[in-house]
């Protein structure tokens, strides 16, 4: 019962000890969930907000994506805002759901090597109600999902190694190609779905 493989690259902005990005992923028999949050600004307050959001998701992994976003938003009242992306793969309905609020991205790659970047909702989570969309698409076998914060550049996302089947190769190639110091906190999560 293990349909998903995950590899993560994470590095703090040059000169910072701590990365303001937080993430979490988990697979159960029914589904896979991955969330990535980037606290606005940098340093410890940024980390605090992104951790709040990730903890809410950890505690509520069975909730639908829409509810998760709402719960996260509520907990950010009086805190620094954060941007957030959530991916859920549902094994029963054979579909996946994505919602991203603000500048944190999700890219899907199908077996036919079609790359698609999901369109994020504008803004960020900061405790006030805002409209957002959750997209739901049919799941295809042997898909890659790439989740990334804004330390990853658009140019980097065009590289061919994102088609790789081994998630470790994706994150290691990314690390190798970005030896220069990062200008922003950077997290790149490579997810591979494969089911026989």
- 34 or 143: CB nearest Mn ion: 34
Helices (H), the chain: 44-59, 65-74, 154-157, 167-177
- Using the minimum distance from each CB to Mn ion, give the nearer residue, 42 or 108: 42
47: helix, strand or coil: helix
**Shortest separation between residue 134's beta carbon and Mn ion, angstroms:** 22
We find the least distance from the C-beta atom of residue 54 to Mn ion, in angstroms, to be: 15
Residues near Mn ion (CB under 5 A): 38, 149-150, 184-185
CB of 3 to Mn ion, least distance (A): 30
Least spacing, CB of residue 103 vs Mn ion, in Å: 7
Q: Which is nearer to Mn ion, 27 or 184 (CB)?
A: 184
Q: How far is the CB of 42 from Mn ion (least distance, A)?
A: 8
Query: Shortest Cβ distance from residue 185 to Mn ion (Å)?
Result: 5
Rounded Cα distance, 171 and 9, in Å: 6
Its sign, for the CA torsion 171, 174, 178, 181, is negative
Residue whose CB is less far from Mn ion, 11 or 184? 184
Q: Could you give the maximum distance between any two Cα atoms of the chain, in Å?
A: 47
Q: Which is nearer to Mn ion, 21 or 31 (CB)?
A: 21
- In whole angstroms, give the CA distance from residue 104 to residue 27: 22
Radius of gyration over every alpha carbon of the chain, rounded to an integer in angstroms: 16
98, HSE (Cβ side, Cα atoms, 13 Å): 21
Task: Report in angstroms the alpha-carbon separations of 99 from 22, 118, 163, 187.
Answer: 16, 9, 22, 17
C-beta of 113 vs 153, nearer to Mn ion: 153
């Amino acid at each position: 019962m293990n349909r998903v493989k995950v590899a993560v690259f994470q590095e703090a902005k040059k000169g910072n000890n701590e990365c303001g990005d937080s993430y979490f992923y988990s697979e159960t028999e029914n589904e896979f969930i991955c969330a990535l949050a980037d606290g606005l600004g940098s340093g410890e307050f940024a980390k605090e907000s992104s951790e709040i959001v990730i903890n809410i998701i950890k505690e509520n992994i069975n909730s639908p994506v829409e509810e998760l976003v709402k719960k996260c938003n509520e907990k950010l009242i009086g805190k620094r805002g954060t941007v957030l992306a959530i991916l859920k793969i549902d094994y029963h309905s054979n579909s996946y759901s994505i919602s991203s609020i603000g500048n944190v991205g999700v890219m899907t790659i199908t077996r036919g090597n079609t790359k698609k970047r999901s369109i994020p909702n504008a803004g960020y989570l900061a405790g006030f109600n805002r409209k957002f969309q959750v997209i739901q698409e049919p799941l295809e076998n042997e898909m890659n999902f790439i989740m990334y914060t804004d330390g990853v550049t658009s140019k980097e996302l065009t590289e061919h190694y994102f088609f790789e089947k081994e998630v470790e190769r994706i994150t290691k190639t990314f690390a190798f190609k970005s030896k220069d110091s990062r200008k922003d906190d950077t997290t790149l999560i490579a997810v591979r779905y494969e089911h026989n």
